[in-house]
Amino acid sequence: MTAASMPLAAGRKLNLFLGAIRYQESLFALPFAYTGMILAARGLPTLPQFIWITVAMMGARTVGMAANRIVDRNIDARNPRNAARHLPAGLLKTSDMVALTLVAFAVFMFAASRLNIMALALAPVAAAYLVFYPYTKRFTWASNLLLGWALAIAPSAAWIGVTGSLTWTPVLLSLAVALWAGSFDILYHTQSFDFQIKEGLHSVASRFGVVAAFRWSKTLDVLAVCALIGVGVLSSLAWPFYIGVAVGAGMLAYRHTLITPDDTSRMGIAFMRVNAYVSTSVLVATALALLV
């Protein structure tokens, strides 16, 4: 490799890494972290807090996604829906993803150290959970719910990043995120129902059936909206917050019109766009409520 071609090769590798961790999904993960952040600050945090919380969240998410790809690489290779992922397809090596995981963990820990002692102390616990989660589909149907809690770390972690402490408000917000994320993960994995049964993998759908999984999803969405309303009451938020929650609830209801147990062909729209709209509407509404 010549010196002139090295930047091009590095760019290609970076694009592969970004594709492997599906960086675009941060669009619906980060807003809830920022919601926890501005609630903790009762407005805007300091610029260093904003920067290091953002870096920490991106580092933690990269740890989780890269670990997931490593842990599930053999399962993905046998699943026609996932066989084109970077490790099964040979686009990246396992060693590449291990290196990415280690670098992301180091970034995560450094960012946490720039926030406060509690953030630094709990960062390894959060990282350990993110690495552990992918194994749960091998032994419990609650794996979808446990995925929800992987995403639910973000709001409470951001709160801790600002205040160095934890109260019931961020815990309730994290519960809302866990319910919301668990709901869409249940729906997402109905696409692999036959494969899960064949491989002996566990999910709500494989345990209770696809139709029941859709009922679980709707129930969790209702509970998530209730938890968000609780956040507003507990934080004494003004009326714009409740409008945002209503918009989010409407988007969740719309998601259930896009896909059915018999037709999941529009899962991409239900998964990416709707989730991004829900999390963003809650963030914007929270910011407006704090301004009011």
162-187 confidence digits (pLDDT tens): 999 999 999 999 999 999 999 999 99
Proportion of the chain above pLDDT 90, given as a percent: 81
What pLDDT is stored for residue 76 in this prediction? Answer: 93
Task: Give the CA dihedral 92, 93, 99, 102, nearest 10 degrees.
Answer: 90
Is the pLDDT at 4 greater than 50? The verdict is no
What pLDDT is stored for residue 10 in this prediction? Answer: 66
Exposed e or buried b per residue across 71-81, where buried means at least 16 C-beta atoms within 10 angstroms of its C-beta:
bbbebbeebee
How many CA atoms within 13 Å lie on the side-chain side of 241?
Answer: 22
Is the pLDDT at 3 greater than 60? The verdict is no
Domain range summary for the chain, segments of one domain joined by +: 12-20+40-135, 139-292
The residue type found at 178 is A
Proportion of the chain above pLDDT 70, given as a percent: 95
Higher-confidence residue of 88 and 21: namely 88
Rg (CA), the chain: 19
126-153 pLDDT per residue, tens = 999 999 999 999 999 999 999 999 999 9
Q: What are phi and psi of 91, to 5 degrees?
A: -70, -30
What pLDDT is stored for residue 279 in this prediction? Answer: 92
Highest mean pLDDT among 8-17, 79-88, 201-210: 201-210
CB atoms within 10 A of CB 38: 20
Higher-confidence residue of 268 and 36: namely 36
Least confident of 174-188, 207-221, 266-280: 266-280
What pLDDT is stored for residue 276 in this prediction? Answer: 86
Q: Average pLDDT over the chain, rounded to whole? A: 92
- The pLDDT confidence band at residue 272, using thresholds 50, 70 and 90, is confident
Residue from 67, 92, 68 nearest 84 by CA: 92
Give the H/E segment covering residue 267.
Answer: helix 267-268
Which pTM was predicted? 0.93
What pLDDT is stored for residue 16 in this prediction? Answer: 84
What pLDDT is stored for residue 5 in this prediction? Answer: 55
Question: In this structure, what DSSP letter does residue 164 have?
Answer: S
256-271 pLDDT per residue, tens = 999 999 988 888 877 7
Query: Which superfamily does CATH assign the domain made up of 12-20+40-135 to?
Result: UbiA prenyltransferase (1.10.357.140)
What pLDDT is stored for residue 9 in this prediction? Answer: 65
Least confident of 28-32, 50-54, 223-227, 251-255: 28-32
41-58 pLDDT per residue, tens = 999 999 999 999 999 999
In CATH terms, is domain 139-292 a member of 1.20.120.1780?
yes
